[in-house]
């Protein structure tokens, strides 16, 4: 007989169920209180962190203008595509499509995402054209979005590359005026708080945290037209003479403003791909040269200031050589015999310059050279500017003093040389070269105005059939200047590589412009290399057009041979009898062997 089952305890079961439900309800209430009251701030922050974002408001970099209001550097809007690595890796089927749109392999994209898998932000492609960015976003791939940015564009390309410099991908100045005035041009990005959806799209602007301050514009002293002239003629001369590089600087004598500064070889600042770092170097302010005969005017200025010499004082350069202690020999191109101080400049006599220097104290020569700005930066504020090298006077022996007098044993930049010649052109008053139009730029007296005028008159004789700079003549203008040819130093001596130079001012009666042309390695040791043949013609071609553009009145109206000024040489005013230049102008200069 089966035992009888005990009756079910329904009351106990009911209480048990009720107790469990009560405990569960209590737990839910406690959890709700914990989430909504006790730890409300923590979870609110966690939620905001997933949807609230503080994002920068990009600002446009200031525009750089030339002195006439022509834009030289402008910022154009672009888009940068970014992605959330975590979301993208969670949708691996979308990666091949995204990789194809970005122009990379799927493996490369996946590797980048895996490397940043613990992050929520990764730039995928920057500085895209807005239309291209829109095509990519239209793929609607989860985890990618875009942000507005700006890219620098340089309308003049290579012509102004070294003067302006470049910016990096974050639109910050890296070289040139872009770096020198980066704080002025860059502005300050703003900051705003937004809500983003799960795809990274902004769905609501919450608040403005910081107002954006756009960059300020910069009006420079550069003249785009003159810059182009200098670029074109320098590039043509380097190609014609098979030279390795070169520079040209043009200053406005009246205020020290830099109207043009060009270098070759140059580069395209709009394309940052495969730019040779050597091409980006601004040789006009960073590279130094031994100035050769272009230094002689300052030796003459020191001689005139000493009171021992006058422009007509005679000096015997016979027999065309000068033997110094230690077996060092100074040579002229030929024996010029007895000449005066002016003819030392006209004929570019090394022997004459050395004999003049021997009569002066080293301290006095050093002081004059230093007053003209040699041995220190010009003060133009250009990044990376070299101070050159002017040895202290205590280190000068007889040989050092002699070689320094005609431009060896010291080094200068093309900008320093232009600054010094501008001081001669400005009546002996020196100004710092400037790049900001209208900036206050006081001058300082470095030599007596009468001495400066005397030296300018001597320099005019160089631009004649008797001098070495006839090719620097400018139609209808009087020119004062000096050619220079120096050998490159190497291994404690000099090699058969040359630097050709011309430094001059025009109009000579009341100088407005000063120009310095430096061409390195002309002829590569085989062809023409004298400054009068290589650099002087560049000065002539650039200045003849620059004076016309600036509407500078002629000071020497002349007639020219048939074929135009580029085909012949000046023959003097119409009222004067013709003076025909010799078949072989005296371009040659003495270059130490």
Per DSSP, 263 falls in state E
Query: Rounded CA gap, 413 and 283, in Å?
Result: 8
**4: its two tokens:** 């009888």
| SS3 state at 401 | helix
Query: Rounded CA gap, 41 and 54, in Å?
Result: 19
- 72 near 227, Cβ under 8 Å? no
| Main-chain dihedrals φ then ψ at residue 63, nearest 5 degrees | -80, 140
Which burial class, exposed, middle or buried, applies to 16 when counting CB atoms under 10 A from its CB (0-12, 13-18, 19+)? exposed
Query: Rounded CA gap, 181 and 72, in Å?
Result: 14
Q: How far is CA 584 from CA 71, 468, 482, in A?
A: 46, 11, 19
Query: Rounded CA gap, 489 and 494, in Å?
Result: 4
Cβ partners under 8 Å of residue 359, min gap 6: 303, 306, 308, 309
- 176 near 191, Cβ under 8 Å? no
Query: Rounded CA gap, 348 and 583, in Å?
Result: 20
- 285 near 467, Cβ under 8 Å? no
The number of helices, as runs of H, and strands, as runs of E, in the chain is 20, 19
CB atoms near residue 97 (< 10 Å)? 12
Which one, of 530, 532, 536, 525, lies nearest residue 486 by Cα? Answer: 530
Q: Is the peptide bond before 382 cis (omega within 30 degrees of 0)?
A: no
Beta strands 245-252 and 513-520 are antiparallel
Active site residues: 293
Query: Rounded CA gap, 207 and 5, in Å?
Result: 74
Q: How far is CA 6 from the centre of its chain?
A: 104
- 75 near 153, Cβ under 8 Å? yes
Query: Rounded CA gap, 313 and 452, in Å?
Result: 17
Query: Rounded CA gap, 205 and 193, in Å?
Result: 6
Q: How far is CA 396 from the centre of its chain?
A: 34
Query: Rounded CA gap, 282 and 267, in Å?
Result: 11
**48: its two tokens:** 């905001």
């Amino acid at each position: 007989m089966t035992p009888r089952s005990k009756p079910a305890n329904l009351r106990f079961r009911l209480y048990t169920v009720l107790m469990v439900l009560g405990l569960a309800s209590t737990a839910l209430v406690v959890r709700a209180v914990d989430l909504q009251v006790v730890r409300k701030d923590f979870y609110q922050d966690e939620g905001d962190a997933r949807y609230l974002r503080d994002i920068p408001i990009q600002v446009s970099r200031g525009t750089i203008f030339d002195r006439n209001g022509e834009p030289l550097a402008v910022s154009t809007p672009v888009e940068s595509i970014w992605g959330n690595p975590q979301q993208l890796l969670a949708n691996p089927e979308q990666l091949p499509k995204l990789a194809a749109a970005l122009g990379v392999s799927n493996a490369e994209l996946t590797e980048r995402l895996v490397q940043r898998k613990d992050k929520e932000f990764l730039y995928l492609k920057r500085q895209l054209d807005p239309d291209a960015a829109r095509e990519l976003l239209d793929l609607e791939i989860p985890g990618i979005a875009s942000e507005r940015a700006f890219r620098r564009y340089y309308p003049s390309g290579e012509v102004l590359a070294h003067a302006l410099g470049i910016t990096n991908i974050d639109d910050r100045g890296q070289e040139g005026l872009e770096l020198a005035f980066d704080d002025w041009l860059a502005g300050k990005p703003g900051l705003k708080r937004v809500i983003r959806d799960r795809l990274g799209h902004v769905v609501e602007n919450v608040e403005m945290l910081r107002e954006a301050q756009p960059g300020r514009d910069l009006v420079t002293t550069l003249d785009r037209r003159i810059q182009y002239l200098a670029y074109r003629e320098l590039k043509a001369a380097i190609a014609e003479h098979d030279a390795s590089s070169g520079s040209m600087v043009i200053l406005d004598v009246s205020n020290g403003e830099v109207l043009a500064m060009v270098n070759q070889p140059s580069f395209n600042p709009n394309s940052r791909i495969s730019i040779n770092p050597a091409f980006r170097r601004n040789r006009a302010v960073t590279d130094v040269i031994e100035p050769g005969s272009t230094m002689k005017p300052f030796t003459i200025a020191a001689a005139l200031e000493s009171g021992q010499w006058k422009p007509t004082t005679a000096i015997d350069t016979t027999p065309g050589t000068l033997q110094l202690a230690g077996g060092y020999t100074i040579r002229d191109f030929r024996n010029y015999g007895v000449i005066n101080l002016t003819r030392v400049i006209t004929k570019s006599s090394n022997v004459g310059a050395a004999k003049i220097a021997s009569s002066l104290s080293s301290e006095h020569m050093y002081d004059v050279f230093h007053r003209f700005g040699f041995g220190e930066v010009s003060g133009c504020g250009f990044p990376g500017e070299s101070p050159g090298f002017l040895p202290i006077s205590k280190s000068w022996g007889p040989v050092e003093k002699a070689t320094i007098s005609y431009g060896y044993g010291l080094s200068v930049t093309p900008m320093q040389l232009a600054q010094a010649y501008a001081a001669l052109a400005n009546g002996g008053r020196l100004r710092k070269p400037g790049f900001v139009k209208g900036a206050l730029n006081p001058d300082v007296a470095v030599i007596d105005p009468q001495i400066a005028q005397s030296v300018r008159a001597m320099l005019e004789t160089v631009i004649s059939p008797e001098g070495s700079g006839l090719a620097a003549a400018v139609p209808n203008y009087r020119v004062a200047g000096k050619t220079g040819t120096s050998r490159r130093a190497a291994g404690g001596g000099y090699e058969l590589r040359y630097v050709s130079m011309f430094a001059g001012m025009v109009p000579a009666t009341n100088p407005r412009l000063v120009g310095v042309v430096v061409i390195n390695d002309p002829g590569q040791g085989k062809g023409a290399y004298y400054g009068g043949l290589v650099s002087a013609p560049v000065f002539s071609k650039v200045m003849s057009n620059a004076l016309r553009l600036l509407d500078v009145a002629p000071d020497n109206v002349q007639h020219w041979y048939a074929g135009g000024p580029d085909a012949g040489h000046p023959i003097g005013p119409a009222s004067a009898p013709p003076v025909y230049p010799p078949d072989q102008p005296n371009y040659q200069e003495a270059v130490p062997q």
